Amino acid sequence: MSRLLVFQHVAAEPLGTLDPLIRARGHRVRFVNFERDPQAQPDVDRYHGLVVLGGPMNVEDQDRRAHLKTELVAIERALHQGKPVFGICLGSQLLAHVLGAPIRRHIQPEIGWYELVTTAAGRRDAVFAPLGERTRVFQWHSYTFDLPAGAEQLARTDSCEQQAFRYGDSAYGVQFHPEVDAALIGRWLGTAAYQQELCAAGLPHDVDTIRAHTDAHAPQLREQAEPLFNAFLDLVGRPARRTVLPSR
């Protein structure tokens, strides 16, 4: 049975819609929650794939958050072993940093729903193809990265060039949040720290606008993310079973 290692940074940013997919397939999952156990030393050798989730910290916070150094070492080892890696938001920045790409504060935060445009490579990619040529995705980030040397760019938005990349055959970094649904976005919008970040960003849309956009776009994102995640999980290992999820 395939075993998957998941790095989580805060309780508010879980696996989201990826969680029931993993469980329906029968994969075994080990969570390392660095908020609860910042001294954890996970051993990637025991696992077949790695997922690194988002969080409010940044790559430059390594001196204050030693677990980020631990994660960078683990990601590098997983890559060296040729294991599939999927980094979301902060996870994508950590992956890009391991691959030697600069990470920096972006000129303008992206928070809310944005149109994602896939590249020709993204439309050909076995994992990314379900997103099609254009789709609406949810964003919450104020940092960005350069495309790592040797990586293929898979997507961009008008306001942020680097949205997704693949390195080698099975390492993926995505700046946006394919794992969210309306409930998770509502949780973020109802959290004081997230509200403060949105207000400080100076964007033309507010909480109510994002809620309305979520009602319009979240169902389609979930439909597109499901085959994307399944394609990535197939790289980790064929499922012990694949249960059809109930219709939504």
Residue numbers annotated as active site? 89, 177, 179
Rounded Cα gap, residues 121 and 166, in angstroms: 9
Tokens linked to 224: 């597109």
